[in-house]
Amino acid sequence: MKYFKLYSNCFLVEGHKKHIICDVQRGEIFIIPLALSKIVDDTFKVSMEVINNIPDDLIKSKIKEVIEFLITHELGHLCDNPNSFPEINKHWESPEIINNCIICMDNNSSLDLADIYNQLTELKCKFLELRMEDIETFINCNKNLNDTFIRNIDLYIKFNEKITTFNFVKFLHENQRIGKVVIFSTPKDIANSLNYERVFFIENNITNIHCGKIHENSFSVNIDLFMESQFHNSCLNRKISIDAEGNIKNCPSMSESFGNIKDTTLAEAIEKPNFKKYWNINKDKIHVCKDCEFRYICTDCRAYTEDPEDILSKPLKCGYNPYTGEWSEWSTNPLKQKAIDFYGMREIID
């Protein structure tokens, strides 16, 4: 007797309007209408023989069509004993005390990057994002990165005239840890004329208030995020940031500070009350998101929410409505206007 079973790396995630199957091994998702997902959900309990005996030919053919689709796309298989294929354990652990860090610097900042790199190494931090006004600031300190755990650095640099003659090919070759460089506030004609691999020239200005945009392009389908999201906040879990004044925060877009890097170590800041208060807010606890089928592949935002007074409110800059299954422009949603004014972000959307 044959039974249909989804492969263990393919997870059915239920939303209010739609369900998805996440293939976390291949990094793909398949959106499935609610009615059809029930078939996937229930075939495990019902053998193909039973399905073949369904008296209604139309329903029978539709069920077999769905199963054929899933098998064709290698999302599941037929087997004699489904219990021989146990589910992947969703328990998630990480040896990193801090996984990623964002450091913001302006021309008035006096941060000791070498010391911060050393502290991040002690915390086993692997990913770094630097927001700077001048690429020279990074170059002057990059040799200190050699002895760190940092695996990837994303650079956000404000455009200046020196950028036009800067040798990015040589720079990226000598700094293999850099994943991408984003040059913002670039004049349009220059943005169109420069073309380097892993370097993106953006015309718009980028500040902390621009963060938190949620759209399909930022979805990440992989087993690490899928499992982490089951229990933890997909953005703030094991994140730390330092703003241009040296204040240690959960996120540069947030106001709450846990000390200044001049007199507080990162390790001390992490142990302060409330620093970890967002870490375990997973999407299943957040209003609206808990009914969204994308909740385990989407990275959250707690800095800008629809209701600034509610720690569990939906991210402000998400335009997806899981109750209709449709995307819309978040900034024109009448229900978000109060929060937009509260955060003073009217100028970035008009």
Partner 1 sequence: MGNQDTLNLYSILKSLPVNYYLLSYKNKTSEKNNMLRVAPFSRYKSSKSKCMRSHKPISKLL
CB of 273 to partner 1, least distance (A): 25
Using the contact rule CB under 8 A, the part of the chain among 121-129, 257-265, 276-284, 322-330 near partner 1 is 121-129
CB of 263 to partner 1, least distance (A): 26
Which residues lie closer than 8 Å to 300 by C-beta, 6 or more apart? 233, 234, 235, 236, 281, 283, 286, 289, 315
Rounded-to-integer distance, Cα 55 and Cα 48, Å = 14
- Using CB under 8 A as the binding rule, whether residue 91 contacts partner 1 is answered as no
* Residues 63, 70 contacting (CB under 8 angstroms): no
SS3 135: helix
Amino acid (1-letter code) at residue 16: H
* Residues 42, 30 contacting (CB under 8 angstroms): no
- Choose, by CB under 8 A, the member of 6, 119, 129, 340 that binds partner 1: 129
- Using CB under 8 A as the binding rule, whether residue 157 contacts partner 1 is answered as no
Burial class (CB in 10 A: 0-12, 13-18, 19+), 129: buried
Residue nearer to partner 1 on the CB measure, 113 or 150? 150
- Using CB under 8 A as the binding rule, whether residue 29 contacts partner 1 is answered as yes
Query: In the beta sheet, which residues pair with residue 181?
Result: 155, 199
CA distance readout (Å), 56 to 2, 49, 325: 20, 14, 30
3-state SS of 78-95?
EECCHHHCCCCCCCCCCC
- Using CB under 8 A as the binding rule, whether residue 30 contacts partner 1 is answered as yes
- Using CB under 8 A as the binding rule, whether residue 335 contacts partner 1 is answered as no
Neighbours of 113 (CB within 10 A): 19
Residue nearer to partner 1 on the CB measure, 319 or 334? 319
- Choose, by CB under 8 A, the member of 6, 111, 123, 214 that binds partner 1: 214
- Using CB under 8 A as the binding rule, whether residue 137 contacts partner 1 is answered as no
Burial class (CB in 10 A: 0-12, 13-18, 19+), 94: middle
- Choose, by CB under 8 A, the member of 13, 201, 228, 330 that binds partner 1: 228
- Choose, by CB under 8 A, the member of 42, 74, 256, 310 that binds partner 1: 42
CA distance readout (Å), 122 to 112, 192, 213, 267: 16, 42, 31, 9
- Choose, by CB under 8 A, the member of 90, 151, 162, 262 that binds partner 1: 151
- Using CB under 8 A as the binding rule, whether residue 47 contacts partner 1 is answered as yes
Rounded-to-integer distance, Cα 261 and Cα 268, Å = 10
- Using CB under 8 A as the binding rule, whether residue 118 contacts partner 1 is answered as no
Residue nearer to partner 1 on the CB measure, 219 or 342? 219
Q: Which H or E run includes 62?
A: helix 57-72
- Choose, by CB under 8 A, the member of 216, 256, 271, 341 that binds partner 1: 216
Residue nearer to partner 1 on the CB measure, 91 or 263? 91
- Using CB under 8 A as the binding rule, whether residue 234 contacts partner 1 is answered as yes
Rounded-to-integer distance, Cα 324 and Cα 330, Å = 15
Rounded-to-integer distance, Cα 146 and Cα 153, Å = 12
- The site string for partner 1 over 173-212 (x = CB under 8 A, - otherwise) reads ------xx-x---------------x-x-x---x---xxx
Number of residues that bind partner 1 (CB under 8 A): 70
CB of 115 to partner 1, least distance (A): 21
Kindly list the residues in this chain that would bind partner 1 in the complex (CB under 8 A). 1, 27-36, 38-39, 42, 45-47, 49-51, 53-54, 56, 58-59, 62-63, 65, 68-69, 72-73, 100, 102, 126-129, 151-152, 154, 156, 179-180, 182, 198, 200, 202, 206, 210-214, 216-222, 224-225, 228, 234-235, 239, 299, 301, 317
